[in-house]
Structures are given as structure tokens and as C-alpha cells.
Amino acid sequence: MQPSLTEIAKQFVSLPKVVLPLLFLLNLTSPAPVSTCQALDLGCSATATMANDYALVWLHGLGDRGRSFEMLRNDVSLSHSPCYLKTLMLTLYSCTLQFRKFISAPLHLKLPDAPLQPVDCNNGMASHSWFNIADIPIEEGAKDYPDDIATSVAKIHAYIKELHEKDGIAYNRIFVGGFSQGGALTLQAVLRHPERLGGGIVLSGWLMLPDTIGALTHASNAATQFFWGHGTRDNVVLPTMQQHGCAKLTELGHTVEMQSYPVGHSLHPKELREMVDWTKKALGDE
């Protein structure tokens, strides 16, 4: 029996919160089986050059794992997806991503795991977390944990260094992005990096250490650009956190594309489109 629209919507919502934007970035939503190499033209053509490549270090949210998106490393096919779910994904693709062209450069993707550690907002239970969180919702005046943040920033910087030294990706073509807790860490990792990076993608995140972030920002990234999307009905990371964070970044001299969407602590199809469009512009791939 054909599922109802409500059932289809439930299937869509149940997908990991950042699988779709990553799929769109990778341009792997073909209805036929497509390999990563084939879709990205990575290593499949003698004309492919590392100078044209770019990279994304994607940071998951509290309690999630990088392996949630491990399928993006391998050959990707929708052939085993339920017909209605595949149709929904392709419909969203065709209806919301009407770009003049997709990002043409090959993408190198890093999907690291946060360490397993006690988190106060989870009653001290161990969760995969980049840093401690005292309470939910996250609102103005939320407690920050500088040592935790610094430790995780160092880990992300190590991934960036590996992408540059081993994969040969130019620093200014390396992006960091994340959802929720991962978005909050994105800001810290980009701003503190000693080399100019391509930019940061913050989805439903927040700016930690707002009073000292100017002093913590490295001169190399004093004007680095950001995309910041947030739901207007977010009751986990309150929408005011986007407003305050973007205002602070702008005050410090950053260009921030600030977008809001009529959703809670989740993503909106328009957000995915605008995130990819912003990445294209940041790469000069238009």
C-alpha cells in the first residue's frame, strides 16, 4: 500500500539531520547507482587536479557519531531505498536545488567522532560530545567550558592539517561545518586556526565564549566568512543565539550570511539549497 504523505514526512524527518546537506554537497542523489569517484570525477580522469579539490570537515551534534554518514565515503546508490523515500529525496533535490550548476570541484570529506564523555545536560550520562553542556535549551549566558572547547579545537585542527599535508588541499579551500553542538565548535575551530580557511557552515549552532572570542581569533581568520542557518522555532538552541552570534561576528569584521527558517531544531529544504549556494560562491565555483 502506498504510504500517506504523513508517513513519508516521518521517513524524511527520521533521516540523520545532516545527511541531506552532505548528499547535496556531494551531488550524489542520482536515481541510478553512482560511485563517489564517478560522481565527483575524483581519480577517474587524468585532468583531475588536487589544486581544484576542496574539503569539508563535518562535525556532528551531541550524542551522534561521524559513522552516521559513513555511507558518503563509499559507493552511494538509492536503489535499495523505499520507492517513496527515494522519490521524496529526488523531488526535494529537483525542486529546491535549481542551481545554474553544481559545485564542480572534487570534495574530500572528514567525518570525525566526538569523544565519549559525561555530559551534564544528560544527567551525567556519557555521550559522544565535543564539550560539556550544562543545560538545554542553549540560551544567552549559557555556561561554556574553555578547556573542553580547546581540546576539541585542537582535534579539528589536526584533521585540517592532515587534509592539507596528506591530501594536498589548500587551506583556503578547506571548510568546517556542523549541526548544533558541531556548529558551535565550527566557529571556534575556524576562528582559531592559524591559516586562512575557506569558511564555516553553522547550522543551528551558537557562539561560545562571546566575550573573549575576539582575542581568541587568529589574525589569519579575522575576516573569514560564515553561513549560519537556524530554525525560528528552535527550542534546543534558541533563535536569539543566532542573532547574538551573527551580530558579534559582524562586529569583529566577518561576513556572515544569516538565514532563518520556519522549523525547530532541524533543517529546512531551503536551508540546504542556500548552504550549497553559499559554498559555491565561497569557492568561486559559479
Catalytic site residues? 180, 234, 265
Distance CA 186, CA 222 (A): 15
Query: What SS3 state is found at 52?
Result: helix
Rounded-to-integer distance, Cα 89 and Cα 112, Å = 25
Q: What is the DSSP string of 206-264?
A: --SSTTTHHHHS-GGGTT--EEEEEETT-SSB-HHHHHHHHHHHHHTT--EEEEEES-S
Cα–Cα distance, 279 to 205 (Å, whole number): 18
Which amino acid belongs to residue 171? Y
Q: How many angstroms separate the CA atoms of 29 and 88, rounded? A: 11
**What cell does 203 get?**
547550522
Burial of 81 (C-beta count, 10 Å sphere; 0-12/13-18/19+)? middle
Task: Tell the burial category of 177 from Cβ atoms under 10 Å away from its Cβ (0-12, 13-18, 19+).
Answer: buried
Lookup: cell for 116: 565519549
Alpha carbons 41 and 101: distance in angstroms, whole number: 15
Give the three cell numbers for residue 217: 581569533
Spatial contact of 185 and 64, defined as CB atoms under 8 Å apart: no
